[in-house]
Amino acid sequence: MTLTITTEDRVASIIEAVKNRLPSDCHDSDVMYDCCTIIDEFHSNMREHVAPDKHSVSWRLTVAYRSGVICLCFQYKGERFDPTGADEVEPLPIEDRSIGGLGLSLISELSDKIDYTYRNGMNTLNVEVGTIGIPKEDDPCL
């Protein structure tokens, strides 16, 4: 399933469309909440950083469910921006750290695999979230 999304679309409607395409046993899972957070963060970054001076920008989200893994593929045209190369978030209280990078760090923490490519003006971010195992927020290693 591929959705074409604009920066003016509501996150709730995007998430509802995604949930409607996934198996029902994923709907109330911790993994689904992780995916919702990832989608929300990506959408926010599109609005704030890719399209701040434009009326509307569109991007595509392809969602697939394969062998217990939810695959999210985010694509948009624009300048190259590799979120996998972002600096580590400063280990300071939130009120003392500089702005930027927290959303990308959150996406990385919630995903099992993240991959970025840039070809012919198209940014592609592939994120995989496994539905089997310990939810990320319960992982004792975090």
Q: Coil, strand or helix: which one is 120?
A: coil
Tell me which residue range forms the domain holding 12.
2-138
> Quick check: 77 and 123 in contact, CB under 8 A?
yes
Q: What is the mean pLDDT of the chain?
A: 81
- Over residues 48-103, the pLDDT tens digits come to 877 767 667 889 999 998 888 899 999 999 888 887 776 666 666 767 766 666 67
Q: What is the CATH number of the domain that holds 54?
A: 3.30.565.10
pLDDT of residue 12: 93
Parallel/antiparallel/unpaired status of strands 122-130 and 69-77: antiparallel
What predicted TM-score, i.e. pTM, was given to this entire model?
Answer: 0.80
pLDDT of residue 116: 92
How many domains is the chain built from? Answer: 1
Token code pair at residue 120: 């012919």
